[in-house]
Amino acid sequence: MDLNERFRTVLEDEPPLGFDPDQLVDGLRRDVRRRRVVLAAGLLSAVAVVAVSAGVLRNNDAEEGPADRPAPPTTPSESFSFTSTVLDSRVGGEQEVTADPAVFELFGQGSPVLSGDAEHVVESFVVDSYPGDRGKLQIRRGDEVLFEVELGNHDGYAMDFKFTEPWIFPPDQPPLVALSCQQSGRPDHGCEAGVTFEGSAITR
Partner 1 sequence: MRKSDEDRFREFARGQAAVMRRSAFLLCGDWHLAEDLTQMTLVKMYRAWPKVSRTDRPINYARRTLVNCWFDEWRRGWRRAELSMVEVPDQGDEQADPVHRQLNDELREQLFDALFAVPPRQRAVLVLRYYEAFSVAETAETLGCSEGTVKSQAARGLATMKTALGDATAVSLLTGVEEEHR
Residues that bind partner 1 (CB under 8 A): 1-4, 6-15, 17-19, 21-22, 24-25, 28-29, 32
* Alpha carbons 118 and 71: distance in angstroms, whole number: 13
Least distance between partner 1 and beta carbon 204 (Å): 40
Nearer to partner 1, 18 or 65 (CB): 18
Nearer to partner 1, 4 or 95 (CB): 4
Comparison of 7 and 94: residue with beta carbon closer to partner 1: 7
Write down the least CB distance from residue 182 to partner 1, Å.
Answer: 30
How far apart are CB 71 and partner 1 at their closest, in Å? 44
CB of 105 to partner 1, least distance (A): 32
Nearer to partner 1, 17 or 67 (CB): 17
